[in-house]
Amino acid sequence: MDINEIQQQLFQIIKTKIPAEASVADEIAKFLNISSDSAYRRMRGEKQITFEELYMLATNFRISLDQLMNIPTGGFVFQGNLLNHKNFRFDAYLTGIMHTMAYFVSFKQHELYYLCKDIPLFHHWHIKELAAFKYHFWMASIFGFPEFKKIKVDINGYPDELWDLGQKILNLYNQVDSFELWNLEAINSTIHQIEYYREGQMFKSDYDVLKIYEAVERTIDHLEAQATFGRKFKIDDPAKKPLSNYQMYVNEILLFDNSILAVLDNTKITMLTHTTNNWIMTRDITFSENFHQYMQNLMRRSTMISEVSEKERSRFFRILRERIARRKAVLQV
């Protein structure tokens, strides 16, 4: 990697750390006390940054120079925040996801690889009732907010501002070519969450439970339709206007872990989950290249059910629907 590539990589990383609505050049100009035109020349590689500027930018934006220059140290540098009920705000959490997705979309090539231990969070925003339940579950059971533990799930009370943020995230996700690796267990965590709340009488009525299961069913129907056509489209679009490519794979042997790999032009970013809803991220070239190869190998050992393998696709979604149907039958007795 030569100095120009390092410089370009530096500004790409800085771009991810600045709000989507802000000008990267203006932020850099302000920080380095230079003109916006000078900042643009540095970003385009027309002028090399000085060692002092590199130090200032790396320090301010918390960028590892080992990682930036791909210096082999035997370690991998990750970044992330630790969420808890003292510092967590759901709107800020969603805004962060929105900015990340907007950054992904800014590249000419933008691909997302997702190992689905659960239903990917992007799919929570197809149906409002499912989004409302997941919101309450996270706030009460994951982050332990006392005010949510004292009230029952309100499937009609999901705040409009959170739904709007979710729709913005979903619209950005729909622009990104995606490769999702599923197994038959991916839906189970959502079912267990719903049943735990039902048995604990944390719903206002069985009717609300039924509405959430119907939301999961509609989400499954939409995923099958996207897999059938091999593309993404809005759930309420009868014309199924293609928005991006959608490839779905099924592996019935391995259990996944919600890890994500983003491939953005010449950059790869790996995001790993830990402690339920916390994420860490790395741009380490060695780590992300290895993870990319792992993904490719997994896909070769899995069954692709997008556009092809109609029998396997039908079987996979039939099993998912049967699991939901058994739960609904109990409610309708």
Residue 233 placed within a domain = yes
Provide the pLDDT for residue 266: 82
What is the domain-level CATH number for residue 64?
A: 1.10.260
Domain boundary among 26, 48, 68: 68
Domain range for 43:
3-68
Q: Same domain, yes or no, for 110 and 58?
A: no
Domain boundary among 68, 93, 119: 68
Q: Same domain, yes or no, for 60 and 166?
A: no
Provide the pLDDT for residue 320: 95
Residue 74 placed within a domain = no
Q: Same domain, yes or no, for 130 and 267?
A: yes
Provide the pLDDT for residue 1: 57
C-alpha separations of 61 from 49, 52, 87 in Å: 15, 14, 21
Q: Which residue stretches of the chain have pLDDT < 70?
A: 1-2, 20, 66-67, 69-75, 332-333
Express each pLDDT in 36-82 by its tens digit. Answer: 888 888 888 888 888 888 888 887 777 777 667 666 656 677 777 77
Provide the pLDDT for residue 28: 84
Q: Same domain, yes or no, for 159 and 247?
A: yes
Q: Same domain, yes or no, for 143 and 267?
A: yes
What DSSP string describes 225-284? Answer: HHHHHTEE--TT-TT----EEEEEEE-SS------EEEEETTEEEEEEEETTTEEEEE--
Residue 73 placed within a domain = no
Q: Same domain, yes or no, for 279 and 212?
A: yes
Cα–Cα dist 139/133, whole Å: 10
Q: Same domain, yes or no, for 50 and 115?
A: no
Provide the pLDDT for residue 26: 84
Q: Same domain, yes or no, for 190 and 241?
A: yes
Query: What phi-psi label fits residue 231: left (phi over 0), alpha (psi between -120 and 50 degrees) or beta?
Result: beta
Q: Same domain, yes or no, for 34 and 125?
A: no
CA end-to-end span of the chain, whole Å? Answer: 66
Number of domains in the chain: 2
Contacts 24+ apart (CB under 8 A), 99-104: 99/19, 99/20, 100/16, 101/169, 101/172, 101/173, 101/176, 102/20, 102/172, 103/15, 103/16, 103/20, 104/172, 104/176, 104/262, 104/264
Provide the pLDDT for residue 276: 72
